[in-house]
Structure 1
């Protein structure tokens, strides 16, 4: 019998983390939970600890950790509770750990994910910001430490599944392996057909109501602005060792085809499935084998039609901004990601309007002088500077 894989789930209480644990619970002969990490949601973490009995649980800070300890105090759960990014990073690199699911939303996921990479782990990457912020550095470390990197975003997982086996195994050039283009699909979010003039009046409730996917608030807003697709565009460039010109975004509102790969002979391979994140999670967990994900297969008799259009940049200026940043350099993509985190938080808090998200992002990028960053220190400093600038632009707009 093969060894049971020991798993760390970074961001266990989020939608990806919970979906991962659902897949694990269906395949307990293959996977076991070594450690779970989360931000502030001690109540949900307590439930997960009692159910999955990890050796360790890590919360973002001491207050949340103390809350978790008190919730577990009178239970049979023996999970050791820790706090902070350092503990998350140490457990991601632990000698007993085989696989790390990187599902912390935003820049906060970078350091624990890099720690797993540097320890040569199998890293399941749902945290696209890690690559958006530190693409070249991240990929270089994957090669240097012999880590295995498998994409979890449904689009990147679909692209990976449609790639030739040689490219799945090594980061070769697309053109040397018969691939001519990556076709990155996106639903267009909830405002695909909404009158452009009315976008400035979009409410938070409207922006987070995605037509196909169940996601957290931040990612739902990013999907509505299509910044999410812009970040995925940048991520695809690094994951698949290609140029911005090798990637094309296609609007596909049904979210059934998750992405496609176009070959030099005219063939196009597409990966399809119901919009459920357990499919790409199960694929990456078991790769190159397959396991039960708990997802129903498509019923083609129930699918009415597929439609495809080009993205309208007047409707989705954030998508164009991210693609432009991708062509400018590492500092530009780090800046856009940081500014967007600040702008989306301000929108969710009622400080700015929906269309102001793009304004803040573009103003912050335009104010950035140095896009030529290489080291982790430079990347983190660039990220911090962008957050300060974005916050200043928001304050100016409020005065």
Structure 2
């Protein structure tokens, strides 16, 4: 008996709601497993390529794990200490920069910041507050992040989960495909393929863009001698996954530091501006179109909305899941719009009824049916004759 589509939607809606409630209640506990699954998802194409090169799945995963551990150790030992040191120094210097900017503006443009005015007093209070509160804010952030992502989860659970999921990834995908409802399996496969294309295109493409921009900004700013240049370059590159946000925040920070450090030497200030201008030109005209492409379907506003909503609902786990959920919801929204445009609600015309099942007619030579009946009669007569001769034991009489 066929289950109506409306009833199927109710059951799947209840299942989806239960999944969201479980994620809301267990978000912090399952976060290491979500991170491990994300790592396995990103590295699965590398494992597939190594398998096509001749390695077994187990050996491919071992090679990927060894390389990932080496890269993680190198980044932890060489990059993270410099980032932390420069970030702390920039936080300590920021109040002094704000005070110097306020004094310069007051002396050159007194009409903008009158003595005792609201804006000037606000800037002064902001500088003092930054000096007093940044350390406490940093400690609070570190303690909250430490509660969410413990050292054990980062160093043990995430790599172990990623290793085993990567080892059995193709088998898990096949098992999930086997569990799909048969009636809707082609549609689900199509939507899953589009979600995978959007998500993988964004994550892998944007990751490569961030790596290229981070290398360019950090190295170029360090070469011109900008203080905190390494941290500012990495920050601008990481924020570039939202168009114009990275170059705006990073560029303004770099120019402010350059004005504070290179005052009276416009050549180096212009060099800092040129570095960010060149990075923006290359990103907009080559990196984004060639690497990320226009088929991704993750609009910056949609991405910001997903980060805000899922972060508010599910905390840090929601922010981690925001990008894949945004990709999935975007694909589902396009699918629903496609179905809406094909429906009577959009066209104003009722859909034609489904055609009846076709009647199958099989053509055979004349006399085929009579020949089959004669053959069946002959076999029955022969069986009865053999039973009478005792060759085939007759059936025992039925008791009444």
- Tell me the TM-score normalised to structure 2 length: 0.26
Relative contact order (C-alpha < 8 Å, sep 6+): which is higher? 2
Q: Which of the two has greater helix per residue?
A: 2
Q: TM-score, normalised by structure 1?
A: 0.26
